[in-house]
A and B are shown apart, each in its own frame.
Chain A
Amino acid sequence: MASVDKLTVEIVTGERIVFTEENVDMVVAPGIEGSLGILPHHAPLVTLLSEGELRITKAGHEESIVVFGGFMEVTGDRVIVLADTAERAEEIDLARAEAARQTAERSLRERGPGGVQDLAVAERAMARSAVRLRIGQRRAGRRVPTIGSGSDN
């Protein structure tokens, strides 16, 4: 059971449930207007999310999830994150993110005939891979125990 002064957090994407946890102490989310922290008894809130790291703190442990755009609704002690894309930090494939960053960099440098639209796509890909790399690398260096993931990492 979720107790009164804790949060219930659900992070879902169109394809799956990425994360769900009760009795959470704090959520720090990448809101569109800057990072925002949610504690229990927060006022009802709906916000757009930008790309970045969503941190969930529970009993001293911290879970890190990368989200790329979406929404967050906070009502009472329930936090619902409807992310466009989301991954747990430990799911990040560093090699793939690095490859993606290089591809994006190259297409930015060489700027093909596609013009503005291609540029926007490349810039987005660049930003995404940068976020993935930053969070993935930090996690790989730190190796902290995470909530609910047990010994499977």
Chain B
Amino acid sequence: MPSTREIRRRIRSVRNMSQITRAMEMVSASKMRRAQQNVTASRPYSERIEEVIADLSAIELDADEMNQFPLLQQREVKRSAVILITPDKGLTGSLNSNIIRRATRYVLHEANVPVEVIAAGKKGRDFMIRTHQEIAAEFTAIGDRPTLDDIRPIVEVALNDFESGKVDAVYVVYAKFVNTLSQVPEARQVLPIRRPEGRGTYTDYIFEPSPVEVLNALLPRYIEVQVYQAMLESIASEHSARMVAMRNATENAKDLVTDLSLSYNKARQSQITREVSEIAAGANALR
């Protein structure tokens, strides 16, 4: 039986911890709100660009013209790349390992070809280095409010490798933000671009300067936006996962304090009882 002093010390340290986790929960809560707003704010752009591409997909392209759009080319996949978006930090409950598990499943079972990893985020990078995967590029410290400019280098690597023929498909693995309690790791193909179903009503577009130049400017932007969106969702997922994890930690600490207080009181009481009986015994002996 630990002494009352030891128990008291533990209670104090658990209380301190719960204060920290509660503070972290609140920080994550406000960051999460911010991140969710960013996800919502960036959605219109990706919806519109998708619409524009869908509009343009009504235009028929023959094989010759198709060759001018390398990003649309479906080749036999001999190598693929995966952009792995993870948080830089831990304390996110099971989120990090879920994302990494999803990526691992892709690399080991689904790809069936050699895979190179473009790591965005420290946790994913560390895991891939530890397991001796091929890392094409790594990006860390992206921050909580990335702009399109911040993720452009990531997309650049993927585009270069795809256009040079080093890889024939590019996937993004990220944590899709469903709601505060649920984040689903997802693997989504971004390259080659699958043209959305043609819903375009017009086929006689005027292009300035030319169809080839417009599409070749538009398509990379489309990839950027998809990766950007995935990044923002991952950030929202990270903060909500951390918020929930920290809330659980705070609850656990509270339970622990209750248990410890009970043992403390028991220990105190038995100590008092012992002292009383010792005094009584002493008094008896003197009589």
Give the interface size bracket for A toward B.
20 to 34
A-B pairs, top 9 by smallest CB distance, nearest first, are A47-B208, A14-B148, A44-B202, A45-B206, A16-B41, A12-B45, A12-B44, A44-B205, A73-B52
From B38, B41, B44, B209, name the one whose CB has the most chain A CB atoms within 10 angstroms.
B44
Q: Does B272 contact A (CB under 8 A)?
A: no
Interface residues of B (CB under 8 A from A): 38, 41-42, 44-45, 48-49, 51-52, 55-56, 147-148, 201-202, 204-209, 213-214, 217-218, 221, 224-225, 228
What does the 1/0 interface line of A13-57 toward B look like (CB < 8 Å)?
A: 111110000000000000111001000000111111000000000
CB distance from B229 to the nearest CB of A (A): 9
**A40 CB → nearest B CB, Å:** 16
Check if A17 sits within 8 Å of B206, measured CB to CB.
no
Q: Which residues of A contact B51 (CB under 8 A)?
A: 80
Q: Are A15 and B41 neighbours in the complex by a CB distance under 8 Å?
A: yes
- Is A75's beta carbon under 8 Å from chain B? yes
Taking the nearest CB of chain A, how far is it from the CB of B2, in angstroms?
A: 56
- The minimal Cβ–Cβ distance linking B205 to chain A, given in whole angstroms, is 5
A16 to B224, CA, bound (A): 15
Q: Which residues of A contact B213 (CB under 8 A)?
A: 48
Chain B minimum-CB-distance residue to A14: B148
> Closest residue to B218 on the A side, CB-wise?
A71
Partner of A46 from B42, B52, B201, B221 at Cβ < 8 Å: B52
What does DSSP make chain A's interface, helix, strand, loop or mixed? strand
A44 contact from B41, B147, B206, Cβ within 8 A: B206
Q: How many Cβ-Cβ contacts under 8 Å join chain A to chain B?
A: 75
Name the B residues within 8 Å of A33 (CB-CB).
208-209
Closest to A44 in B: B202
Q: Determine the chain A residues whose CB is within 8 A of the CB of B221 once the complex forms.
A: 71, 82
B147 contacts across to A, CB distance below 8 A? 14-15
A15 vs B145: C-alpha distance when bound (angstroms)? 10
Q: Taking the nearest CB of chain A, how far is it from the CB of B181, in angstroms?
A: 27
Contacts of B49 in A (CB 8 A): 82
Nearest CB to that of B202 among chain A residues? A44
**A69 and chain B: residue at smallest CB distance:** B217
CA distance A134 to B225 in the complex (A): 30
Separation in Å of the B52 CB from the closest CB of chain A?
5
Cβ-neighbour of B204 out of A43, A47, A71 (below 8 A): A43
If the complex has contacts A31-B208, A44-B206, A82-B48, are A17 and B56 also in contact, measured as CB distance less than 8 A? no
A87 within 8 A of B: no
Evaluate contact between A17 and B52: CB separation under 8 angstroms: no
CB distance from B126 to the nearest CB of A (A): 29
Q: How far is the CA of A82 from the CA of B41 in the complex (A)?
A: 14
